[in-house]
Amino acid sequence: MRFDRSGGVFCHVTSLPSEHGIGDLGGGAEDFCSFLGDAGVGHWQICPIGPTLASAGESPYQSPSAFAGNPLLIDLDGLAEDSWLGEDDLEPIPDFPDDRVDYGAVREYKLPLLRTAFERFDADGSAEATTDLNAFRDREPWLADYALFRAISDARTEGAWTEWPQPLRTRDSEALSDARERHAEEIRFREFVQWTFDRQWRELRDVAAAEGVSIVGDVPIYVALDSADVWANPEVFRLDERNRPSAVAGVPPNAGDDGQRWGNPVYDWERLADRDYDWWIARFRRLFDLADVARLDHFLGFVRYWAIPADADDPAAGEWHEGPGRDLFETVERELGNAPFIAEDLGFEDPAMEELMSEFGFPGMRVPQYANWCAEGDRYQPMHYPEGAVGYTSTHDTDTWVGYFEDLPERQRDCFRYNVGAEGDRPVEWEILDEVWSSEAVLAMTTVQDLLGLGSESRFNEPGTVDGNWDWRVTEDALDDEIADRLWEFGGRHVR
């Protein structure tokens, strides 16, 4: 195993308190790290921190970059401390809701301020800051293509880069040179924003480390089609001669459903193998530069993946293909060492996948909301979690524990109470916390919503839906010393 036994809390950065309408990398995040430290919690799990788009429902899993940071998470107070914003620039602060993110209002407020900060830096930035930005450009090879991609995207009216004129779509060198010249200022702005995000993120990570907290990042296996990743690296994906997908990802039909067509381009794993998986190594290197642990979303896709012809709407038209398997992770170990991965293996019981996880010591996930509480030995009941697992009370994609429990049939609720030996009037969320923390799982994880005993109205994301996701926030006074003390006691009894 690559982990010491410990506990963790999931809370995406956007969900943290801030007076600027969205959780950011400033004081609210630092206070959350202090809460985790006071609670004796060793891990802070987040969603991907890349830019989000209104056109993709603000999903952090449909970002225009697998490498860049989300500009909306930049701490404006930090820019004021840098003297690139004045306190009066921040006024008036809109009357943002404190329990959810209004992404449109946040963009309207924050993006002009980021441009103001850039203009002042561009005009009066110190030699030291300019040198640091130049070093960031040199250190991050993805940055130039990302900044160019976003600059071109903002200037054009097409819905996606796959509809750009052919010279831009296929990256004709003369067309790219002309675009760099035409959009030079916008490119510098995008680079400044990413440098600022990177500096602030590293400062926050230092705060977390001082509290004894490791950050658990997230790696969606697929990237969005309308992304700098696909546009700048067409040879990594299965694209046709026009640089448009020839096959897209999804899952096949199963009993009771029609399957899913996700639409993300699939990888050309054979060509990647010939290149020693260079794009994936760069992606993992960047991730571990920003986080301590990585959750690999849809881990089955590294073993076998469902590829659907791009011109087919029916998921049943797809076929299974072999993934890179152990060859990829042997390459990762050669390049990056003993990388600490968590494998998202929910919904699939595949012997080859389980063998790969076992060989490399990647713990899988167990979520009690998938349990049949009346079935003896159910693998999702916490008392049956193996050491090689990460136990969750809920995840970013499930209902809260209270919401789930309220919807359970009465017999299932009775079986749950019997199985866990429920203690009188103890809140049901603390019953499951106790069970997950006392299991054999190497990591015990919960969510802020479950710590607070919140219901379905506080769910973070409901897969398959578009509206009302990714916007939940915790209020400033919700996580108090009493909750921290209770978590500390759990850790003392079970995982410390």
User: pLDDT tens-digit profile of 383-433?
Assistant: 999 999 999 999 999 999 999 999 999 999 999 999 998 877 899 999 999
For 44, which DSSP code? E
Give the whole-number percent of the chain exceeding pLDDT 70.
99
pLDDT digits (tens, 9 = 90+) for 440-474: 999 999 999 999 999 999 999 999 888 899 999 99
Q: Angle at the Cα of 11 (from 453 to 3), degrees rounded to 5?
A: 105
Position 90 confidence tier, pLDDT thresholds 50, 70, 90 = very high
Instruction: Note the pLDDT of residue 467.
Output: 86
Cβ within 8 Å of residue 256, ≥6 positions away:
none
Q: How many CB atoms lie within 10 A of CB 208?
A: 22
Write down the pLDDT at residue 466: 83
* pLDDT reading at 188 higher than 70: yes
Residue of 132, 397, 414, 476 marked catalytic: 397
CA triplet 451, 94, 157: central angle to 5 degrees?
A: 100
* DSSP bridge pairs for 218: 295
pTM, full prediction: 0.96
How many of the other CB atoms lie within 10 Å of CB of 411? 10
Whole-angstrom CA distances from 273 to 50, 325, 353, 359, 461 are 26, 11, 19, 20, 35
- 8 A C-beta contact, residue 106 and residue 21: yes
DSSP state of 3: S
Q: What percentage of residues in the chain have a pLDDT greater than 90?
A: 91
Q: Are 60 and 50 in contact (CB under 8 A)?
A: yes
Set 198, 297, 434, 435: catalytic member: 297
297 has catalytic annotation:
yes
Q: List b or e across 314-335, with b for residues whose CB sees 16 or more CB atoms inside 10 angstroms.
A: ebeebeeeebbbeebbebbeeb
Q: Can you give the pLDDT at residue 491?
A: 73
Mean pLDDT within 230-255: 94
Q: Tens of pLDDT along 155-174?
A: 999 889 999 999 999 999 99
One-letter amino acid of 2: R
User: Distance (Å, rounded) from C-alpha 406 to C-alpha 429?
Assistant: 11
For the cut 70, the answer to whether the pLDDT of residue 495 exceeds it is no
Lowest mean pLDDT among 37-46, 205-214, 420-429: 420-429
Within 10 angstroms of residue 72's Cβ, the number of other Cβ atoms is 24
Chain centroid to CA 215: how far?
Answer: 11
Mean pLDDT of 47-70: 96
Please tell me whether residue 45 adopts helix, strand or coil conformation: strand
User: Does the annotation count 397 as an active-site position?
Assistant: yes
Tell me the C-alpha distance between 398 and 89, whole Å.
40
Among 26, 34, 27, residue whose Cα is nearest residue 72: 26
CB distance 215 to 143 below 8 Å: no
Summary mean pLDDT of the chain: 95
Q: What is the DSSP letter of 279?
A: H
pLDDT at site 4: 87
Distance (Å, whole) CA 292 – CA 73:
19
What is the per-residue DSSP string for 67-104? S---GGGS-HHHHHHTTSS-GGGGPSPP---SSB--HH
Q: Taking residues 54-81, what's their average pLDDT?
A: 97
Q: How many CB atoms lie within 10 A of CB 278?
A: 14
User: Which residue is catalytic, options 140, 211, 344, 431?
Assistant: 344
254 falls in which pLDDT band (50, 70, 90)?
Answer: confident
pLDDT confidence of residue 297: 96
Is 91 an annotated catalytic residue?
Answer: no
Read off the pLDDT of residues 287-329 as tens digits, 9 standing for 90 and up: 999 999 999 999 999 999 999 999 999 999 999 999 999 999 9
Quote the pLDDT of residue 493: 63
The confidence score (pLDDT) of residue 492 equals 61
Q: Does residue 335 carry a pLDDT above 90?
A: yes
